[in-house]
Amino acid sequence: MEQVVITKSETETHELGRRLAEKLPGPAVITLRGQLGAGKTQLVKGLLAGLGNAEQATSPTFALCHYYPGRVPLLHVDLYRLKYPSEIPDLGLDEALDDGFALAIEWPDGLEAHLPPVDLAIQLSADPSSPEVRRVELNSQTPLGDLLISGL
């Protein structure tokens, strides 16, 4: 299933993440693609809010992973700095899923074959003529992904 949502502000991108997370029943794998500044971290902030966590997500570019508690705990992962796919097992993604975490993975490009199966792939694109507008393409890969985007 595929769905496209247009958000017109950071607040709307945040709200989209919140609405997705409110439907999240447990562990899931969500990938986020988009250029720098496309709104990936803003969407993750919304996911956190929807999972009952008031913390402000920050991009884990240098730490690679940030753990957040919540109704479903969230592991926010940034693969931008990984040089080799062989580094992925060191991140403990499979173990986090086994422990009940949802995974929000930024910059998965070229590494998908080394990741756990993806439930929902999200692509965010900025509108060059309108800096706040985002085109958010949501592609479910599993029945769980279908559940997350149904009724948006």
The alpha carbon dihedral of 118, 89, 101, 134 has a sign of negative
Looking at domain 2-149, does it have CATH number 3.40.50.300? yes
pLDDT tens digits, 93-146 = 999 999 999 999 999 988 888 999 999 999 999 988 888 899 999 999 999 999
pTM: 0.92
What is the per-residue DSSP string for 12-33? HHHHHHHHHHHT--S--EEEEE
Q: Is the pLDDT of residue 62 over 60?
A: no
pLDDT tens digits, 65-104 = 889 999 999 999 999 888 889 999 999 999 999 999 999 9
Binned at pLDDT 50, 70 and 90, residue 147 comes out as very high
Q: What is the largest CA-CA distance in the chain?
A: 43
Nearest to 30 by CA among 152, 113, 119, 141: 119
